[in-house]
Chain A
Amino acid sequence: MAGINPNQHRGNPFKHNWLASAIWLIVVCYVVYMFNAMDLSWGRINEGLGHAGNLLGRMVPPNFSRWSLLLSGLIESLEIAIIASICGIFISLFMGLFAARNMMPNWISTPVRTLIALCRTFHPVIIAILFVKSVGFGALAGILTLIVASIGFIAKLFAEAIEEISLKQVEAIRATGAGFTSIILFSVMPQVFARFIGFSTYQLDSNLRNSTMVGIVGAGGLGGTLFSAFQRFDYDFVAAILIVIIALIMFGEFLSNIVRSIFR
Chain B
Amino acid sequence: MPVTQNTAERANFLEIRHLKKEYTAGNPILKGIDISITEPGIVAIIGPSGTGKSTLLRCINRLIDPTAGEIIFDGADLCSAKGAQLRMLRRQVGMVFQEYNLVERLTVIENVLTGRLGYMSAWKAWRRNFSQDDINTAFDLLDAVGLTEHASKRADSLSGGQRQRVGIARAVMQNPRILLADEPTSSLDPKTAVEIMELLERFAEEKNIPALVNIHDVKLASRFAKRMIGMSNGVVVYDGPPEGITDEHLKQIYGGESWLV
Q: Kindly report which residue of chain B lies nearest to residue A188, judged by CB atoms.
A: B103
B117–A176 contact, CB under 8 A? yes
Count the A-B residue pairs with Cβ separation under 8 angstroms: how many?
Answer: 85
Q: Which residues of A contact B117 (CB under 8 A)?
A: 173, 176-179, 182-183, 186
Q: Which residues of B contact A58 (CB under 8 A)?
A: none
A177–B101 contact, CB under 8 A? no
State whether the Cβ of A210 lies closer than 8 Å to any Cβ in chain B: no
B126–A181 contact, CB under 8 A? yes
Q: Which residues of A contact B227 (CB under 8 A)?
A: none
Q: Which residues of B contact A180 (CB under 8 A)?
A: 122
Q: Kindly report which residue of chain A lies nearest to residue B154, judged by CB atoms.
A: A190
- Complex CA distance for A182 and B117, rounded to whole angstroms: 7
A182–B91 contact, CB under 8 A? no
State whether the Cβ of A187 lies closer than 8 Å to any Cβ in chain B: yes
A169–B102 contact, CB under 8 A? yes
Q: Which residues of B contact A194 (CB under 8 A)?
A: 105
Q: Which residues of B contact A172 (CB under 8 A)?
A: 95, 97, 101-103, 114, 167, 170
- What are some 19 contacts across the A-B interface (CB < 8 A)? A169-B102, A169-B104, A171-B63, A171-B101, A172-B95, A172-B102, A172-B167, A173-B114, A175-B90, A176-B174, A177-B88, A177-B117, A179-B117, A182-B117, A186-B103, A186-B106, A187-B103, A190-B105, A191-B105
- Complex CA distance for A193 and B105, rounded to whole angstroms: 10
B106–A190 contact, CB under 8 A? yes
Q: Kindly report which residue of chain B lies nearest to residue A187, judged by CB atoms.
A: B103
B106–A185 contact, CB under 8 A? no
Q: Which residues of B contact A171 (CB under 8 A)?
A: 63, 97, 101
Q: Which residues of A contact B102 (CB under 8 A)?
A: 169, 172
Q: Which residues of A contact B65 (CB under 8 A)?
A: none
A178–B118 contact, CB under 8 A? yes
Q: Kindly report which residue of chain B lies nearest to residue A192, judged by CB atoms.
A: B105
Q: Which residues of A contact B232 (CB under 8 A)?
A: none
With A182-B117, A186-B114 known as contacts, the answer to whether A177 contacts B103 (CB < 8 A) is no
Q: Which residues of A contact B99 (CB under 8 A)?
A: 168
State whether the Cβ of B31 lies closer than 8 Å to any Cβ in chain A: no
A175–B63 contact, CB under 8 A? yes
Least CB distance from A196 to B in Å reads 12
State whether the Cβ of B61 lies closer than 8 Å to any Cβ in chain A: yes
Of the candidates B97, B104, B105, B174, the one whose C-beta lies within 8 Å of that of A177 is: B174
Find residues 183-222 in chain A having any chain B CB closer than 8 Å to their own CB: 183, 185-187, 190-191, 193-194
- Residue of A173, A179, A180, A182 most packed against chain B (CB within 10 A): A182
State whether the Cβ of B125 lies closer than 8 Å to any Cβ in chain A: yes
B97–A182 contact, CB under 8 A? no
State whether the Cβ of B168 lies closer than 8 Å to any Cβ in chain A: no
Interface of A is mostly: helix
The 4 closest A-B pairs by CB, nearest first: A177-B118, A177-B91, A181-B122, A178-B117
- Residue of B63, B93, B119, B125 most packed against chain A (CB within 10 A): B125
- Complex CA distance for A186 and B101, rounded to whole angstroms: 13
Least CB distance from A252 to B in Å reads 28
State whether the Cβ of B87 lies closer than 8 Å to any Cβ in chain A: yes
Q: Kindly report which residue of chain A lies nearest to residue B117, judged by CB atoms.
A: A178
State whether the Cβ of A174 lies closer than 8 Å to any Cβ in chain B: yes
- Residue of B104, B117, B125 most packed against chain A (CB within 10 A): B117
Find residues 98-128 in chain A having any chain B CB closer than 8 Å to their own CB: none
- Residue of B103, B118, B170 most packed against chain A (CB within 10 A): B103
Q: Which residues of A contact B101 (CB under 8 A)?
A: 168-169, 171-172
Q: Which residues of B contact A181 (CB under 8 A)?
A: 122, 125-126
Least CB distance from B89 to A in Å reads 8
B103–A185 contact, CB under 8 A? no
Q: Kindly report which residue of chain B lies nearest to residue A194, judged by CB atoms.
A: B105
Q: Which residues of A contact B52 (CB under 8 A)?
A: none
Find residues 41-89 in chain B having any chain A CB closer than 8 Å to their own CB: 61, 63, 87-89
Q: Which residues of A contact B91 (CB under 8 A)?
A: 176-177
State whether the Cβ of B184 lies closer than 8 Å to any Cβ in chain A: no
Q: Which residues of A contact B230 (CB under 8 A)?
A: none
18 more contacts with CB within 8 A, not counting A171-B63, A174-B63, A185-B122, are A169-B101, A171-B97, A173-B114, A175-B90, A175-B95, A176-B90, A176-B116, A176-B118, A177-B87, A177-B88, A177-B89, A177-B174, A178-B87, A178-B125, A186-B103, A186-B117, A191-B105, A194-B105
State whether the Cβ of B115 lies closer than 8 Å to any Cβ in chain A: yes
Q: Which residues of B contact A185 (CB under 8 A)?
A: 122, 125-126
